[in-house]
């Protein structure tokens, strides 16, 4: 088999951990597999480089930032290659450029356009283990080094796995797989053996921090089997993220996600006239604010109430935008002490009563639901933040996820 392995910052955080990663790779190579490993910078390294840059300039040229930040991953790839060579294994490190990764020209948040995998294929055929510096490529017009933004090494790994038609792409982090919910909130949470791309995307966007959204989207597009596992317990099987049709028993609910990074914006007594919602949400979109859930209720007196949620990090920008609409409403308020709890599962498509079970389970705990939003495979509810963990535990039990 050809395996693409990706090791995150905590997995290569110091020399001892890099040696641990070398041991994992040696074991996989000894089992007869070909290996391409993609590595992140050592944890804390990227932040340190950003601080160095900011000590000279608060607005450095983005091309220079890419030149600077891409060095972190190159350091790790060279060290890991040196460690493997020293132990008698044939290894070669490659920058993003050498691995054939070409991106668009958006420095610091580039998108991968194409991968020429011929150099990697040649190195594999000569018996090499390849260690690729993640998070980077080369900009197609200028030929300068570019970086892929947050979580870019995951993206590098998935894109390489797709381009070279690897059998599997294993993402090693400090967590040994995807759980039915956060084990720190519900100790009875169980690790999932398999989960579909769509469920993983929902869980990732709803606050589960294990895998980065863009990499799951790309895995789905390129049909790459992803495995989430831990570099600290490599003997433990991880969770496979795959096509829905590869999962025989589709669970009604696979997991519960909790997102505390939410603010509810309420507009009361809004003049009910055509185009008012359009102008509000266009202004928010122009300010790059990601609006999540929206509820509109029309009152009897011809006025309307509008509720929507945004990420906490966008609150100050949102307040500035909403100043322009104060004349259109009786009152605008902001509630930060809320959270979003969601149930996710592909089996919802074919089962009835899934949502009512969620509502009943929260009602039993006297938890009031403020806003509800649904899609084919998820139900999200906004509740008061003080009930966050209680809600997660009661939903986890309601759908027997601990079984």
- What integer pLDDT is reported at residue 209 of this predicted model? 64
Architecture of the domain whose range is 2-174: 3-Layer(aba) Sandwich (3.40)
How far apart are alpha carbons 40 and 397 in whole angstroms?
Answer: 37
Distance between CA atoms of 121 and 142, rounded to whole angstroms? 26
Q: What is the DSSP letter of 272?
A: -
Say if CB 308 and CB 265 are below 8 A apart: yes
Closest to 89 measured CA to CA, from 61, 124, 128: 128
Q: Return the SS3 of 124.
A: helix
pTM: 0.85
Q: In the sheet where 331-335 sits, what is the strand order?
A: 294-298, 303-311, 262-271, 331-335
**How many whole angstroms separate alpha carbon 279 and alpha carbon 325?**
9
CB atoms within 10 A of CB 358: 25
C-alpha dihedral, 377 to 383 to 385 to 388, nearest 10°: -50
**Structure tokens that stand for 297 in this block:** 């209720």
d(CA 195, CA 212): 15
C-alpha–C-alpha distance, residues 124 and 190, integer Å: 37
| Cα separation, 42 vs 231, whole angstroms | 14
Query: What residues contact residue 110 under an 8 Å CB cut-off, 6+ apart?
Result: 103, 104, 137, 139, 146, 147, 148, 149
State the Cα–Cα distance between residues 124 and 166, nearest whole angstrom: 12
Q: 12 forms bridges with which residues in the sheet?
A: none
- DSSP state at residue 42: P
Q: Two tokens at 276?
A: 């008012």
Side-chain half-sphere CA neighbours of 78 within 13 A: 7
Give the start-end residues of each E strand in 191-261. Answer: 194-196, 226-230, 239-242, 255-259
Partnered with residue 163 across adjacent β-strands are: none
For tokens 């669970």, what's the residue? 251
- What does the longest C-alpha to C-alpha distance in the chain come to? 80
Cβ atoms within 10 Å of 330's Cβ, excluding its own: 12
Percent of the chain's residues with pLDDT above 70: 99
Asked if 144 and 97 touch (Cβ cutoff 8 Å), the reply is: no
Q: What is the pLDDT of residue 99?
A: 97
231 secondary structure, DSSP code: S
pLDDT tens string 48-104? 999 999 999 999 999 999 999 999 999 999 999 999 999 999 999 999 999 999 999
Show pLDDT as tens, one digit a residue, over the chain (403 residues): 999 999 999 999 999 999 999 999 999 999 999 999 999 999 999 999 999 999 999 999 999 999 999 999 999 999 999 999 999 999 999 999 999 999 999 999 999 999 999 999 999 999 999 999 999 999 999 999 999 988 899 999 999 999 999 999 999 988 889 999 988 899 999 999 999 999 998 887 665 567 878 899 999 999 999 999 999 999 999 999 999 888 877 788 999 999 999 999 999 999 878 888 899 999 999 998 989 899 988 876 778 899 999 999 999 999 999 999 999 899 999 999 999 999 999 888 888 889 999 999 999 999 999 999 888 899 999 999 999 999 999 999 999 998 8
């Amino acid at each position: 088999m050809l395996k693409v392995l990706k090791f995150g910052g905590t997995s290569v955080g110091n020399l001892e951990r890099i040696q641990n990663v070398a041991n994992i790779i040696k074991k996989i190579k000894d089992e007869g597999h070909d290996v391409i490993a993609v590595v992140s910078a050592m944890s804390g390294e990227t932040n340190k480089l950003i601080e160095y840059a900011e000590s000279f300039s608060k607005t450095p040229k983005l091309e220079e930032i890419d030149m600077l930040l891409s060095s972190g991953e190159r350091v790790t790839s060279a060290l890991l290659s040196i460690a493997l060579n020293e132990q008698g294994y044939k290894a070669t490190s490659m920058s993003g450029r050498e691995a054939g990764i070409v991106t668009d020209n958006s420095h610091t948040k580039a998108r991968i356009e194409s991968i020429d995998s011929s150099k990697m294929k040649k190195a594999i055929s000569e018996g090499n283990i390849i260690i690729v510096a993640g998070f980077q490529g080369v900009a197609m017009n200028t030929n300068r080094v570019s970086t892929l933004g947050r979580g870019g090494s995951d993206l590098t790994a998935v894109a390489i796995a797709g381009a070279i038609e690897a059998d599997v792409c294993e993402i090693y982090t400090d967590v040994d797989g995807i759980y039915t919910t956060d084990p720190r909130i519900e100790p009875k949470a169980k690790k999932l053996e398999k989960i579909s791309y769509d469920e993983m995307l929902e869980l990732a966007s709803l606050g589960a921090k294990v895998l980065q959204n863009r990499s799951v989207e790309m895995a789905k597009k390129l049909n790459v089997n992803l495995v989430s596992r831990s570099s600290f317990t490599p003997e433990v099987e991880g969770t496979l993220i795959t096509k829905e049709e590869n999962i025989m028993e589709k669970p009604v609910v696979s997991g519960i996600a909790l997102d505390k990074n939410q603010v509810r914006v309420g507009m009361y007594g809004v003049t009910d006239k055509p185009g008012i919602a359009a102008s509000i949400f266009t202004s928010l979109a122009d300010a790059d604010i990601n609006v999540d859930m929206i509820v509109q209720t029309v009152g009897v007196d011809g006025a309307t109430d509008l509720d929507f949620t945004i990420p906490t990090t966008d609150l100050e920008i949102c307040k500035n935008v909403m100043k322009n609409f104060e004349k259109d409403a009786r009152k605008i308020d902001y509630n930060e002490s809320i959270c979003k709890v969601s149930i996710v599962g592909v089996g919802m498509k074919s089962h009835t009563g899934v949502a009512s079970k969620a509502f009943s389970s929260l009602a039993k705990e006297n938890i009031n639901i403020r806003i509800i939003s649904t899609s084919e495979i998820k139900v999200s509810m906004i509740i008061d933040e003080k009930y966050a963990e209680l809600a997660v535990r009661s939903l986890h039990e309601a759908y027997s996820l601990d079984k």
